[in-house]
Amino acid sequence: MEILAYGVESYERPLLRKAFDGRYELRCLDVNLDEDTVVLANGHEIVLTNVNAKADAEVLRRLAAGGTRLLTQRSTGFNNIDLDAASRHGITVMRVSHYSPYAVAEFAWALVQAVNRHLPRAVVRTRDFDFRLDGLLGRDMHGRTVGVVGTGRIGEAFARIAHGHGCPLIGWDLVENPACRELGMEYAELPDLLSRSDLVSLHVPLTPDTHHLIDAAALDAMREDALLVNTSRGGLVDTFALVAALRRGMLGGVALDVYEEEEHFFYRDLSNRRVTDDVLARLMTYPNVLVTSHQAFFTEEAIDAILGTTLRNVDDFLAGRTTENTLTR
């Protein structure tokens, strides 16, 4: 049986083949699953996808018609998959329910310090032998109030880092995390958290309820010099509203590892092309905005966990087992 893997990056291909070696025959594609590429899955019972796949109702219907019975995603997020349609068409959907929370949490804090201390600007300057300090003034993070939006595994790990830097913590989540309470975290409603925090870091999944959680009203509620960091999903932030807020001189800094329309840009070399996304291009013009290409997860430990779990998902499906990674049966 040949398994088809969509959206396999160059770095991922040898690792994925190594993980599956001797167990299953694997065919890797560099294109993502969507309405144009779904035909390539015909005859494949098992399909692997990534977070940039577009598994809507029509794509899932065509997958089922082509014989696909398992769709397993190599990520935690699954907002790109129509689970109701998958159930209707008899497709089991699985994911990687968790991997190293430290990968994302540590990267989020790295972004905090990078944008706070203007590190990208400083590096560019010194490479040109410009050693002035003008425009590089940052702030101590010690004693700054940190708002953690989403206090699950990653949010908790981020809170521990912030706590270690002497930061008072405010949290927002549907369910309180006792471990965060032990750190001294105070839970509050989101508008209260936004208005009181010097730093707001987003760690919630993207759902219909959290789409544009940070909209114009939320941005207006934030402190004028606050830092905003998003390492979760691009759709949590209304990017048009964010650009408008930056234009008005709001926010001390913004660090984004994710972007609403990232599937058109991230993981590609577009250095010799014109970028037609006016919002992304405008974001890049602000000196207090840092954008990275969805790399917070990218550590050896996290990749090992993601690929290992994906392999186990295939084993579990073929054995008829339901696990914490199973989203539909």
Return the sign of the alpha-carbon dihedral for residues 139, 140, 143, 144: positive
Q: Which residue among 196, 233, 260, 263 is the active-site one?
A: 233
Q: From residue 34, how far is each of 3, 49, 53, 125, 234 by CA, in Å? A: 17, 10, 6, 42, 19
CA 37 to chain CA mean position, Å: 24
Using an 8 Å Cβ cutoff, are 180 and 201 in contact?
no
**Which 8-state DSSP code applies to residue 7?**
S
d(CA 247, CA 288): 12
**Which 8-state DSSP code applies to residue 41?**
G
**Which 8-state DSSP code applies to residue 200?**
E
Instruction: Pull the structure tokens for residue 241.
Output: 């509203």
d(CA 279, CA 270): 16
d(CA 305, CA 101): 11
Using an 8 Å Cβ cutoff, are 103 and 301 in contact?
yes
Contacts of 221 (CB under 8 A, 6+ apart): 191, 194, 195
The terminus-to-terminus CA distance of the chain in angstroms comes to 21
SS (H, E, C) 229-295: EECCCHHHECHHHHHHHHHCCCCCEEEECCCCCHHHCCCCCCCCCCCCCHHHHHHCCCCCEEECCCC
Active-site residue flag, 324:
no
Q: Which residue among 12, 156, 262, 263 is the active-site one?
A: 262
Q: What angle do CA 121, 123, 124 make, to 5 degrees?
A: 65
Active-site residue flag, 127:
no
Active site residues: 233, 262
